[in-house]
């Protein structure tokens, strides 16, 4: 039995699908992150099965300039996935014939617009772009097998974070497709399928384990003290190779260690979460684990190589997969370098209601938001964090909050929308995470205005 929200979305999806079927050729535009790439693969597969030709375009973000370019290209129909809801004004002004399948906070109204916010669901944790597009795809035909991609997308957007598991519309997609995706409570660390256990702990940035994260010898020693074989047939064991009893030992030891090392409660809560496996995928590969899969995709799209991730989503396990694996290693290194850059330059500056750092050209603008999210737990959790990075047309701004702040009234998307408009920039996103571009030379004004805006949202307490 589907929920009311699901049924309401299906109703809109039927209308959007009807519009799409009017065309034999469409142009698709999607976002470059894991959610955007899985959304792209879902719509692509659905179009292909419906006998509709398409071409796929990936963009860092949608802005007026790109909408204008699209209008000049005279496409019969443009399908936007995982973006578009924040740029409806431009889409209408430039006369684009469009279908929008997105989960960002809508700015404007459109006649073919599928978005969880329209049925009272929050797009930061109830449904992602990939989930929205999954619902649309299933009105174009029977595309239930694409549920695994829908789950990879919402995990990439960290939608399990709020409750430590998927809920609401995401959970409905999950539960309806046990032959494709399986959920279980497990250690949340990244790399359970593919990394030696000590490496998995060494690279644990979420949660950050002080003394263990980044310390290979320390991790080997830590595991050694638990007295079970760390290797088999001269190969380091991965998490999936461990006996249940040994897994329990490791989990208890990590929790005990965290208590002993004053790991903040918010991080402790993230040690065990619901985890998602793609049951049709080969064990021991990135694509088996939804978190690893999503990171593999981010490693392609956020470096302007979304086509590689797209091919992997569509089933390539050969050349594109191996190129994605290479990019993944660089991506993980860039994240660690980014975190270290902020920590070592001691760059997080606190104002009364916000904190920020400026990575300038040291962290690429496409991953500065991830870095901000990852380091937030080591700084002041009572203040949202803003990160700046240089891009060609201005400062990229990325912001991240916490659930507690959102409960107090924080809405980063709304705050960025208002402040950036005043400064000649544009932004949007979600209550808990949002991004924008502002003109060079406006950072000081931005900080001042944002500090006031956030104090108004969350009060002076």
Residues near ligand C5P (CB under 6 A) are 31, 33-35, 61, 86, 104, 124, 156-159, 161-162, 190, 205-206, 294-295, 298, 335, 369-370, 373-374, 398, 400, 426-430, 432-437
Q: Given the complex with ligand C5P, which of 52 and 363 has the nearer CB atom?
A: 363
Closest contact distance (angstroms) between CB of 81 and ligand C5P is 11
Where on the chain is the footprint of Zn ion (CB under 5 A)? Answer: 35, 82, 129, 157
What residue 61 binds from Zn ion, ligand C5P, none (CB within 5 to 8 A, per partner kind)? ligand C5P
Closest contact distance (angstroms) between CB of 126 and Zn ion is 12
- Specify burial of residue 103 (Cβ count, 10 A radius: 0-12, 13-18, 19+): buried
The runs of H, that is alpha helices, within 397-442 are: 403-407, 412-422
Q: Given the complex with Zn ion, which of 104 and 376 has the nearer CB atom?
A: 104
Distance, in Å, from the CA atom of 71 to the CA atom of 80, rounded to the nearest integer, reads 13
**Beta strands 113-114; 181-187: pairing state:** unpaired
Closest contact distance (angstroms) between CB of 429 and Zn ion is 9
Short-list 314, 257, 307, CA closest to 287: 314
Distance, in Å, from the CA atom of 201 to the CA atom of 222, rounded to the nearest integer, reads 10
Q: Given the complex with Zn ion, which of 82 and 365 has the nearer CB atom?
A: 82
Q: Given the complex with ligand C5P, which of 52 and 436 has the nearer CB atom?
A: 436
- Specify burial of residue 330 (Cβ count, 10 A radius: 0-12, 13-18, 19+): exposed
Question: Tokens 């097998």 sit at which residue?
Answer: 145
Closest contact distance (angstroms) between CB of 76 and ligand C5P is 26
Closest contact distance (angstroms) between CB of 88 and ligand C5P is 12
| CA separation, residue 185 to residues 274, 336, 375 (Å) | 4, 27, 25
Short-list 116, 140, 117, 131, CA closest to 173: 131
Q: Given the complex with Zn ion, which of 157 and 281 has the nearer CB atom?
A: 157
What residue 400 binds from Zn ion, ligand C5P, none (CB within 5 to 8 A, per partner kind)? ligand C5P
What residue 294 binds from Zn ion, ligand C5P, none (CB within 5 to 8 A, per partner kind)? ligand C5P
What residue 41 binds from Zn ion, ligand C5P, none (CB within 5 to 8 A, per partner kind)? none
Closest contact distance (angstroms) between CB of 69 and ligand C5P is 17
Short-list 162, 128, 197, CA closest to 407: 162
């Amino acid at each position: 039995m589907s929920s009311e929200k699901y049924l309401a979305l299906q109703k809109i999806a039927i209308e959007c699908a009807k519009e799409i079927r009017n065309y034999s050729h469409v142009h698709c535009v999607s976002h470059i992150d894991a959610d955007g790439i899985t959304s792209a693969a879902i719509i692509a597969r659905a179009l292909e099965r419906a006998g509709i030709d398409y071409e796929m375009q990936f963009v860092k973000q949608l802005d007026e300039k790109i909408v204008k370019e699209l209008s000049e290209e005279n496409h019969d129909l443009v399908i936007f996935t995982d973006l578009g809801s924040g740029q409806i004004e431009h889409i209408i002004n430039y006369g684009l014939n469009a279908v929008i399948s997105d989960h960002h906070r809508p700015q404007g109204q459109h006649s073919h617009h599928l978005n969880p916010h329209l049925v009272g669901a929050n797009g930061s944790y109830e449904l992602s772009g990939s989930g929205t597009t999954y619902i649309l795809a299933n009105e174009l035909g029977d595309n239930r097998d694409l549920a695994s991609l829908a789950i990879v997308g919402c995990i990439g957007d960290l939608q399990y974070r709020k409750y430590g598991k998927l809920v609401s519309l995401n959970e409905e997609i999950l539960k309806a497709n046990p032959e494709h995706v399986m959920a279980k409570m497990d250690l949340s660390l990244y790399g359970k399928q593919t990394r030696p256990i000590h490496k998995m702990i060494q690279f644990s940035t979420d949660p950050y384990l002080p003394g263990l994260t980044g310390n290979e010898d320390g991790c080997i020693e830590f595991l050694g003290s638990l007295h079970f074989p760390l290797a088999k047939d001269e190969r380091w064991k991965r998490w999936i190779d461990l006996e249940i009893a040994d897994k329990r030992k490791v989990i208890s030891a990590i929790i005990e260690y965290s208590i002993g090392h004053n790991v903040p409660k918010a991080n402790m809560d993230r040690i065990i979460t619901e985890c998602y496996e793609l049951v049709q995928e080969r064990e021991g590969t990135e694509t088996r684990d939804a978190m690893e899969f999503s990171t593999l995709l981010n490693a392609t799209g956020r470096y302007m190589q979304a086509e590689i991730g797209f091919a992997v989503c569509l089933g390539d396990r050969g050349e594109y997969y191996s190129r994605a694996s290479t990019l993944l290693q660089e991506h993980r290194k860039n994240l660690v370098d980014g975190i270290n850059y902020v920590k070592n330059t001691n760059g997080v500056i606190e104002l009364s209601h916000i904190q920020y750092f400026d990575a300038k050209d040291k962290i690429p603008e496409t991953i500065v938001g991830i870095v901000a999210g990852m380091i937030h737990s080591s700084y002041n959790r009572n203040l949202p964090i803003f990160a700046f990075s240089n891009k060609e047309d201005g400062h990229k701004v990325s912001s991240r909050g916490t659930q507690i702040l959102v409960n107090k009234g924080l809405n980063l998307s709304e705050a960025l929308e208002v402040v950036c408009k005043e400064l000649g920039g544009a932004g949007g996103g979600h209550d808990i995470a949002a991004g924008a571009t502002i003109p060079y030379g406006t950072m000081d004004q931005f900080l001042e205005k944002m500090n006031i805006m956030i104090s108004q949202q969350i009060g002076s307490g």
